[in-house]
């Protein structure tokens, strides 16, 4: 069974965002990392980029395929996880903590409400 | 919009699903791409052993007094060099020297040959062979593909698995040989080949016997420290060896000389389909050749169809490309002009609009550590 933490919010494309932190870290879910397996490269977004909710912001690559990562909410990319450059496997081993991909400063925190909570996401991947 | 054609299923389809495989379309078949993960499966084959379902592949039996002469007339390698029980890698060309398929041809007896061909090319190969056959050739061809299943057992412990499953080391086919054996469930063809660069064999059998054999072999593979493997690992393993994949690296638009497969073409054996074109191409000089490249820095994995640049100009595209699990680097192959194909020359691979440097290297990309 995939781990789906209660405190996070989710997009149907399997990104998570932590609304309790500001700026909010974004990553991919345990379910997503298990589906992708073997992340070998993370092509990060540029810090300072303004993004809208649902905009494609970066790409992560497994052995088999490249997958687009979408912004769960609108805002500014204020940090990227440099550790993933040397160790992209962190995304597989620790998807909700060490494997965060970027941090976003939300421009409209109300958008969190449009995302799935843990129960809804759990159903989405069931 | 018409419905896409339904995918073929191997006799092991339900077993793969039961074992947790992720199924994907490949060459018209619904095949397991992975069970646990491509990297784990890849490493199992390099370090211990893996088993692959290769039931999608095709098998033709060509026999008769004229079989040897016929095959030598349509295939590039010299089939007269094979003794019964021996096999060789060879190519089937069109009249312009383009590659219809690459295959392994085994001589099973003086007058009978067993050809193992690519799944995606079964129909094209068969149609081509029929057009090449003359009335007075005294050749009979049988297409056994629809009722033959196949398993590839690959890795340094493949021999151990053969002993565990067949009960005797005598059942292990040495490299480039074939053993045809009758068992209590039916015949089996054991071929000393593979597509991974490891020791191993490919095992063909009547399809109704496949599930029993597969379960036995998976158990023996696991006991030896290995695992069942999907086509994802098969692709990374073959690419680390620089083995071409038909459809990616080989096509009817290019000759085996361009693909770097001249070793498997005997221009001196007498006439064969495509020979004239190859001789002419050799005389004129190759327009391009398949170069192996390795990404030189941190870069996304190169993938098929990514543009390839040399001295700033786009000169081609990636044919095969992946992240090499053994090397931890991106590797690939691309047709490039000879000036760009020399070992050590720098190419650039364009990935999502950015160019990343790569170096032309010798094949294979991966060499087994000497023990």
Average pLDDT over every residue of A1-7: 90
Separation between Cα atoms, residue B293 and residue B315, nearest integer Å: 14
Separation between Cα atoms, residue B266 and residue B245, nearest integer Å: 21
What Cα–Cα distance (Å) separates residue B358 from each residue in B240, B334, B348?
15, 11, 6
CA distance, residue B39 to nearest chain A CA (Å): 7
For chain A, domain boundaries: 9-115
Contact B37 A38 (CB under 8 A): yes
What Cα–Cα distance (Å) separates residue B302 from each residue in A7, A19, A40, B146, B282?
37, 36, 12, 35, 30
Q: Give the DSSP letter of residue B315.
A: E
Nearest CB neighbour to B323, from listed A59, A63, A85? A63
CATH placement of domain A9-115: 2.40.50.100
Q: What is the per-residue pLDDT for B170?
A: 75
- Check if B36 contacts A (Cβ < 8 Å): yes
DSSP reduced 3-state for B222: helix
Residues of chain B with Cβ-Cβ distance to A88 below 8 Å are none
The vertex-B134 CA angle with B131 and B140, nearest 5°, equals 90
Contact B323 A41 (CB under 8 A): yes
The answer to whether residue A96 scores a pLDDT higher than 70 is yes
The answer to whether A96 and A20 have CB atoms below 8 angstroms apart is: no
- Check if A85 contacts B (Cβ < 8 Å): yes
What is the tally of helices (H) and strands (E) in chain B? 8, 19
* pTM (whole model) above 0.80: yes
Separation between Cα atoms, residue B249 and residue B245, nearest integer Å: 5
Spell out the domains of chain B, with CATH numbers in brackets: 13-57+146-240 (3.30.1360.120), 288-371 (2.40.30.110)
- Check if B299 contacts A (Cβ < 8 Å): yes
Q: What is the per-residue pLDDT for B3?
A: 55
Q: What is the per-residue pLDDT for A1?
A: 66
Interface test with chain B among A1, A38, A56, A67, by most B beta carbons within 10 Å: A38
Separation between Cα atoms, residue B275 and residue B280, nearest integer Å: 9
Q: What is the per-residue pLDDT for B32?
A: 97
Residues of chain A with Cβ-Cβ distance to B325 below 8 Å are 38, 63
Q: What is the per-residue pLDDT for B1?
A: 45
Q: Which residues contact B325 (CB under 8 A, 6 or more apart)?
A: A38, A63, B38, B39, B42, B43, B236, B240
- Check if B171 contacts A (Cβ < 8 Å): no
Asked, as a colleague might, if the bond just before B102 is cis with ω within 30 of 0, I would say no
pLDDT lower than 50: segments of chain B:
1-2
A67: nearest CA partner in chain B: B300
The answer to whether B320 and B332 have CB atoms below 8 angstroms apart is: yes
Q: What is the per-residue pLDDT for B371?
A: 65
Separation between Cα atoms, residue B229 and residue B34, nearest integer Å: 6
Q: What is the per-residue pLDDT for B235?
A: 97
- What is the ipTM score, two decimals? 0.85
């Amino acid at each position: 069974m995939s781990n789906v933490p209660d405190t996070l919010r989710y997009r149907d494309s399997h990104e998570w965002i932590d609304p309790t932190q500001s700026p909010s870290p974004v990553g991919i879910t345990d379910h997503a990392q298990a589906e992708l397996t073997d992340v070998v490269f993370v092509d990060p977004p540029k810090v300072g980029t303004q993004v809208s909710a649902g905009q494609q912001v970066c790409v992560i690559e497994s052995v088999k395929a490249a997958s687009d990562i979408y912004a769960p909410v609108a805002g500014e990319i204020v940090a990227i996880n440099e550790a993933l450059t040397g160790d992209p496997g962190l995304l597989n081993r620790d998807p909700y903590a060490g494997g965060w991909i970027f941090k976003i400063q939300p421009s409209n925190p109300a958008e969190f409400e449009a995302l799935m909570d843990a129960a809804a996401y759990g159903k989405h991947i069931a | 919009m018409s419905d896409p054609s339904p995918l073929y299923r191997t006799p092991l389809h339900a077993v793969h699903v039961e074992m947790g495989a992720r199924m994907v379309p490949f060459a018209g078949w619904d095949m397991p791409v992975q069970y646990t993960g491509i990297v784990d499966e890849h490493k199992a084959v390099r370090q211990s052993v893996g088993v692959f379902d290769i039931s999608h592949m095709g098998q033709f039996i060509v026999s008769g007094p004229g079989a040897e002469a016929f095959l030598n007339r349509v295939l590039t390698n010299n089939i007269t060099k094979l003794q019964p029980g021996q096999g060789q890698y060879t190519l089937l060309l069109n009249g312009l020297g383009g590659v219809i398929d690459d295959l392994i041809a085994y001589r099973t007896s003086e007058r009978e040959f067993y050809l193992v061909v690519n799944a995606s090319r079964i129909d094209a190969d068969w149609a081509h062979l029929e057009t090449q056959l003359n009335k007075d050739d005294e050749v009979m061809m049988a297409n056994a593909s629809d009722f033959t299943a196949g398993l590839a057992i690959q890795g340094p412990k493949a021999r151990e698995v053969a002993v565990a499953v067949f009960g005797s080391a005598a059942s292990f086919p040495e490299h480039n040989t074939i053993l045809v054996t009758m068992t209590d469930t039916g015949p089996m063809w054991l071929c000393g080949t593979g597509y991974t660069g490891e020791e191993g064999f490919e095992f063909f059998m009547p399809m109704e016997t496949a599930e029993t054999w597969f379960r036995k072999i998976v158990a023996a593979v696991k006991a030896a420290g290995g695992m069942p493997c999907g086509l994802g690992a098969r692709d990374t393993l073959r690419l680390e060896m620089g083995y071409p994949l038909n459809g990616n690296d080989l096509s009817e638009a290019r000759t085996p000389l361009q693909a770097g497969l001249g070793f498997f073409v005997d221009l001196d054996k007498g006439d064969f389909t495509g020979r004239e074109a190859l001789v002419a191409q050799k005389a004129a000089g190759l327009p391009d050749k398949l170069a192996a490249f390795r990404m030189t820095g941190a870069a996304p994995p190169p993938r098929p169809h990514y543009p390839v640049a040399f001295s700033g100009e786009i000169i081609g595209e990636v044919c095969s490309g992946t992240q090499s699990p053994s090397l931890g680097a991106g590797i690939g192959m691309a047709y490039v002009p000879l000036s760009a194909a020399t070992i050590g020359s720098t190419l650039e691979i364009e990935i999502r609009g950015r160019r990343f440097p790569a170096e032309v290297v010798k094949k294979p990309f991966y060499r087994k550590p000497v023990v």
